[in-house]
Amino acid sequence: MINFEEELKNFKPSLEVEEAEQAIYDHQHVDMTDVMQEMLRELKQEA
C-alpha cells in the first residue's frame, strides 16, 4: 500500500513546473475580476 505521507516528503516539483510558475507570476495577467473592479472604480468616480 502507498504511504502518502512518505511520498509527499519525497516530492520535489520538476524544474519545468517551477519555470512555468515563475513565468506566470512575472506577468501581469488581467482576468475578469480585474476588469470588474476597474469598472466599479470608474463608476464610483463618476458618481
Whole-number pLDDT of residue 42: 95
Q: Is 21 exposed, middle or buried (0-12, 13-18, 19+ CB in 10 A)?
A: exposed
pLDDT digits (tens, 9 = 90+) for 1-47: 889 999 999 988 777 888 888 877 887 777 888 899 999 999 999 98
Whole-number pLDDT of residue 40: 95
One DSSP character per residue, 6-29 reads HHHHH----HHHHHHHHHHHHS--
pTM beyond 0.75, yes or no: no
